[in-house]
Structure 1
Amino acid sequence: MEFIDRQIYQGRPTDSERSAREVAVYDLLDRLGITYERLDHSTAATIADCEEVEALLGVEICKNLFLCNRQKTCFYLLVMPGRKAFHTKELSSQIGSARLSFAGPLEMEELLGVTPGSVSILALMNDLQHRVQLLVDREIQQEPWFGCHPCLNTSSLKIRTEDIFQIFLPHTGHQPIFVTLSDDMPNP
């Protein structure tokens, strides 16, 4: 990673050079009374880019995959541990949707209000029509902390997992479907 501010901040940034998209996330979290730690860094578009961020924040950044069916009539946001590999067939059988593929950047912008590399569970605040079904690996709910971007991949947040599931998601009206994804990645 080119740049990482090693300072961990409590709450929202004080500078005024943030995008409206990112500020909207902080506004909502603050309004909901959800506390968080923040780390600023250069663009982190992949899980591999987040390794140092994870070490500094002490949390695994979630992998977020924006998926759709072949007809592009059903859209899904899959949230899973970053270390796990994604197997389409495994997920398809659990949710009863064959031929899943990655949805495009246009659909991502239209439905979630974010660009590739910046998608996170927090983008569901922009899905006011509930066109995106949230899918969550069961393992995520077992962790005490949840790591994600604030709809922009130049910052990362550490939030209590219970705040995501008990406060944030009820506010957005998104009901997760829990799935079990295999952990077939070799251990380092």
Structure 2
Amino acid sequence: MSNIVTDTTIYTGKPDCTGRLQKETGTYDLLEKLGIEYFRLDHKETNSIDDCHEVERLLEIEICKNLFLCNSAQTRFYLLVMPGDKKFDTKAVSRQIGSTRLSFAHAEHMERYLNITPGSVSILGLMNDGEKKVGLLIDRDILKSEYFGCHPCVNTSSLKIKTNDLLTKFLAYTGHSPSYVEL
């Protein structure tokens, strides 16, 4: 048995929210409101893509790598969503979006704009970016999968959501239009 997953039960729908953070329960509430179905696996804290391999196997998905980035002046912020097995090439992404060299943004900005902490970065955090301070960048390879894997704004659960629902229903609700990149 893994040290990350102790109960291999796959759930559908919202859990009993007793003891869960509001940012997680708010995610489930929004997905329910938007009519987005999902599969959920609860697990111990995952802090990296490497920690997610058993979660991926059980949910039969690839958990996406979500990177919170900024330009060199720290005036523009981006959420880059890419396959977990790809390497981040800052020069290539910066060139494709016409930005100065991108680097990892500070945790304070992540919490301020997305209400998430390092290790829990997720496209679902865009629901907290009402001012549209964060640009969304999606690697084109994400579009090839029927399902999308991500955290519900905390890294103690993982979700399997239809990619189309995420791109059409969720992003339509948040008002974020993705820019597509190739890594």
Structure-2-length-normalised TM-score: 0.97
CA distance in 2, matches of 1:100, 1:3: 32
What's the offset of the Cα at 1:3? 3.8
Aligned counterpart, 2:3: 2
Q: How many residues align?
A: 181
**Given the alignment, which residue of 68, 71, 74 partners 2:70?**
68
Pair 1:32-2:53 in alignment: no
Cα RMSD after superposing both structures: 0.8
Q: Where has structure 1 moved over 4 Å in runs of 4 or more? A: none
What's the offset of the Cα at 1:10? 0.7
Counterpart code for 1:2: N
Contact 2:17 2:25 in 1 (8 A): no
Spell out the pairing of 1:5-84 with structure 2 (5 A cutoff). Answer: 5-84=7-86
- After superposition, the C-alpha distances for 1:39-92 in whole angstroms (9 at most, x for unaligned) are 000001110000000000000000000000011110000000000000111111
CA distance in 2, matches of 1:100, 1:14: 39
Q: Secondary structure at the match of 1:93?
A: helix
CA distance in 2, matches of 1:54, 1:176: 24
Aligned counterpart, 2:106: 104
Contact 2:67 2:104 in 1 (8 A): yes
Q: For structure 1, which runs of at least 5 residues remain unmatched after alignment?
A: 182-188
CA distance in 2, matches of 1:177, 1:70: 19
- After superposition, the C-alpha distances for 1:112-164 in whole angstroms (9 at most, x for unaligned) are 10000001000000000000000000010121000000000000000000000
Share of identical aligned residues, percent? 57
CA distance in 1, matches of 2:101, 2:82: 19
What's the offset of the Cα at 1:15? 4.4
Aligned counterpart, 1:94: 96
What's the offset of the Cα at 1:2? 2.3
Counterpart code for 1:6: T
CA distance in 2, matches of 1:162, 1:110: 28
CA distance in 2, matches of 1:146, 1:121: 10
CA distance in 2, matches of 1:177, 1:142: 16
What's the offset of the Cα at 1:11? 1.1
**Given the alignment, which residue of 131, 134, 138 partners 2:133?**
131
Aligned counterpart, 2:122: 120
